[in-house]
Amino acid sequence: MKKTKKIIVLLTILALVMTCCLAGCSKEKPQETAAPSDPGVRTIVDDAGREHTIPVEITKVFSTSPVGTILTYTIDPELLIGWNYELRPGEKEYILPKYHSLPNLGGWYAKATCNTEELLKINPDIIISVGILDEMAVSQADQIQEQVGIPVILINGELAKFDKTYEFAGKLLNKEEKAGELAAYCKKVISDAQNKSKTIDPNKRARVYYAEGAAGLETDPRGSRHVEVLEMVGGINVAEVAMKGGMGMSPVSLEQVLSWNPDVIISWNTTQGGYFDKIMTDSSWKGITAVQDKKVYAVPSGPFNWFDRPPSANRILGIQWLGNLLYPDVYKYDMAKETREFYKKFYHYDLTDKELTSLLKDSGGI
């Protein structure tokens, strides 16, 4: 009897143990196989390490500044819900007509001008902010996101890493094929410039002044993102001025420009409100080597400035243009061919011969 009782007790304990184990398994299994609570959303981590829950399908995108707006337009203009400012005639000329009427919603760059009421009526799936990723950028993105209740995705917009910019944007927007094509183009151009610039004799590097503003007496110093193209192709920026925050454009005097005596001047063109057409005729500038040698060039700017503003994908073509302009024996590009290809790939636009001539005629091209 005692043995029988012991066996019964042991069997009872064993049964209880087995029951607990089975119960434990039944609790763990659903956690491993559970479907997402909302199959219409996904989680992504932006380039600043911030986590976001966003729709699986992205159909409406807005950008805090023109940098991201251009990026979106080049990947798929159908995603774009609005511009950050009123497009000028010279910009509209190379942008497909159906997108001219998109509303100007402002943005959060230089000054906060976004029309949040109109933005929320359209209700974009996401807002992107493309540029330098510093504490200020993260803080601003957090503030905007809290203000409008829409995910603000930070994307690294460094020129040297713009292929990665496209790769991330392609995954974000579910446009990996097109973004991959543009990323490959950027990578090739940037890598080519980085390699070619190393071959230029330090004693033969072109000394360049970048003339901004209505009088040509605003510029940006070395290290500014506004002159990254010049530094990437191996030119020397002569401007020795303090770095100015925000949109840049440090004021300088003509006496300073005369003392720097650049070999080459690149300037905003007339349609941008620059001083290009007057530099060669203004007697105050005649003592400068670049003027005497007739090496004063307008930066092409349709639809966007190839060299600088906005500092987006437009600068990729600017690398080829400026490299070819300063060092034609090193950067042996057929700029007519390269320009046509770029406009087709990035702006979805087929240039006419007349348009191509207009873009390049004052820029050292055809």
pLDDT tens per residue, range 75-118: 999 999 999 999 999 899 999 999 999 999 999 998 899 999 99
For the chain, give the percent of residues with pLDDT over 90. Answer: 85
Q: Between residues 8 and 51, which one has the greater pLDDT? A: 51
Phi–psi pair at 233, nearest 5 degrees: -85, -5
For the chain, give the percent of residues with pLDDT over 70. Answer: 90
Q: Which domains does the chain have, with CATH numbers?
A: 41-180 (3.40.50.1980), 199-360 (3.40.50.1980)
Q: What is the DSSP track for 288-300?
A: SHHHHTT-EEEPP
The per-residue pLDDT for 247 is 83
User: Which tens digit of pLDDT belongs to each residue from 213-252?
Assistant: 999 999 999 999 999 999 999 999 999 999 987 789 999 9
Look up residue 88 and give its DSSP letter: P
User: Which tens digit of pLDDT belongs to each residue from 293-341?
Assistant: 999 999 999 999 999 999 999 999 999 999 999 999 999 999 999 999 9
- What is the three-class DSSP state of 152? strand
Q: Which residues contact 363 (CB under 8 A, 6 or more apart)?
A: 297, 298, 299, 300, 321, 325
Phi–psi pair at 265, nearest 5 degrees: -120, 130
Categorize the per-residue pLDDT at 15 as very low, low, confident or very high, splitting at 50, 70 and 90: very low
The predicted model gives 285-300 an average pLDDT of: 98
The residue among 264, 265, 289, 284 whose CA lies nearest residue 276 is 265
The per-residue pLDDT for 23 is 41
**Cα first-last separation, the chain:** 111
pTM: 0.88
Residue 251: both structure tokens together: 């004021």
Report d(CA 198, CA 80) in Å as an integer: 39
